[in-house]
Structure 1
Amino acid sequence: MRSKTLILTLGLAAMLPIPTGAARAADEATLRRGAYLARIMDCAGCHTQGALIGQPDPKRHLAGSDIGFGIPGLGVFYPRNLTPDPETGLGAWSEVDIVRAVRTGQRPDGRELAPAMPWRSYAALSDADAAALAAYLKSLEPVRNEVPPIAGPSEKPAAPYLTVAVP
């Protein structure tokens, strides 16, 4: 029942006027909380170009990476663009879509997120924290950055990737 309440709340929030005064301070507090959560959840560690090799590009913060994760038997997955860019990022996703993906591992179209995405841990986020993270991601400056496509287990990846070597 709580998730239905969250969906209704986030849906109604989109129809409200831009807040002023104390309400704006509450929104700023929510965005600060979302930024904090993105930082401690280390979203940038995978979803920022260059971060996986120790050279994060601040101009492409959370805009995806062209270094992927190879998972034996599944393929190579590249961290997606989390900015609200309408073509290469989360621009078409609602805050409710983001909350659902973070908590259940499912995209709005029903496909699963990459297996390396630790959504099972993030499923424990409180309603307020999940909503704050989604609001923060939607508040980012959109960055157009298309990442390489997923490569199946028998396909050649289009870009470099990290992998797990079984001894």
Structure 2
Amino acid sequence: MKLNTLLLAAVLAAPAPAVLAQDAEQIARGAYLATIMDCAGCHMPRGADGVPLFEAGLSGGTVGFEIPGMGIFWPSNLTRDPTGLGGWTDDEIATAITGGLRPDGRVLAPAMPWMSYSALPAEDLAALVAYLRSLPPVTAPRLGPVQAAEEAPAPFYRVVLPAG
């Protein structure tokens, strides 16, 4: 009798198949959006030869961006690992994507095109957050930001403004 009660409780606690299908559709939509928004272009690590390390997913870019007057920034880990988005709420992730603001108050570097993403419809933003939440956690070192090239722990692109 006790086993039957436990089985019934497990069945009642399990999400309905329609909810699971809806979640799968939302995650698939988020994966599509992450692809067309080219999240991997920055947030996927690269090997020494510059080739993307697909098996590492969106665990953080290993090539940074120097922004004149601001310093050097490396794209962060977007997986749910504590070295990435693991401690962030869905709202904090959404705010970073569309508002350029981290939970600690730091403004994201201009290399992160949050201003373009600020127009994402709410349902697309929710799908993107759901997709990021679905990624397997990957522990990755946190890089930067740093102020000077001499402090850089990894390669970076240098942006040079034209003389005017």
TM range (shorter): 0.7 to 0.9
Post-superposition offset of 1:159: 1.4
Q: Deviations over 1:112-134 (max 9, x none)?
A: 11221000000000000001101
- Of residues 77, 90, 93, the one that matches 1:95 is 90
Work out whether residues 47 and 64 of structure 1, in 8 Å CA contact, stay in contact via their aligned partners in 2.
Answer: yes
Q: Which residue of 2 aligns with 1:144?
A: 139
CA distance in 1: counterparts of 2:100 and 2:22, whole angstroms: 29
Q: Distance in 1 between matches of 2:81 and 2:109?
A: 20
- Measured in 2, the distance between the counterparts of 1:127 and 1:56 equals 30
**Structure 2 vs 1, CA of residues 121 and 155 (structure 1 numbering), >3 Å: closer, same or farther?**
same
Q: 1:71 to 1:18 in 2, by over 3 A?
A: farther
Distance 1:92 1:20 in 2: 28
Which secondary structure state, in structure 2, belongs to the residue aligned with residue 76 of structure 1?
strand
TM-score after normalising by structure 2: 0.84
Match of 1:113 in 2: 108
Q: How does 1:147-162 map to 2 (within 5 A)?
A: 147-153=142-148, 156-162=151-157
**In the TM superposition, what is the alpha-carbon distance from 1:147 to its structure 2 partner?**
3.2
Rg bigger for which structure?
2
- The alpha-carbon deviation at position 146 of structure 1 amounts to 1.2
Following the alignment from structure 1 to structure 2, what is the Cα–Cα distance between the partners of residues 58 and 25? 26
Q: Which residue of 2 aligns with 1:45?
A: 41
Q: In 2 relative to 1, CA 152–23 (structure 1 residues): closer, same or farther, beyond 3 Å? A: same
Deviation at 1:66, TM superposition (A): 1.9
- The two structures, once aligned, show a CA RMSD in angstroms of 1.9
Question: 1:153 and 1:145 mapped to 2: Cα distance?
Answer: 22
1:48-99 deviation digits (Å, cap 9, x = unpaired): 0018x7511012110002210011111100000000001x100001111111
Who is 1:62 aligned against? Answer: 58
Give the 3 Å change call, closer, same or farther, for CA 18–113 of structure 1 in structure 2.
farther
Contact 1:65 1:147 in 2 (8 A): no
Equivalent AA in structure 1 for residue 52 of structure 2:
P
Q: Distance in 2 between matches of 1:44 and 1:79?
A: 10
SS of residue matched to 1:34: helix
Question: Which residue is equivalent to 1:33?
Answer: 29
**3-state secondary structure, aligned to 2:66:** strand
**Between Structure 1 and Structure 2, how many residues are aligned?**
150
Runs of at least 4 residues of structure 1 off by over 4 A? Answer: none
Structure 2 unmatched ranges of 5 or more: 1-12
Which deviates further from its counterpart, 103-112 or 150-159?
150-159
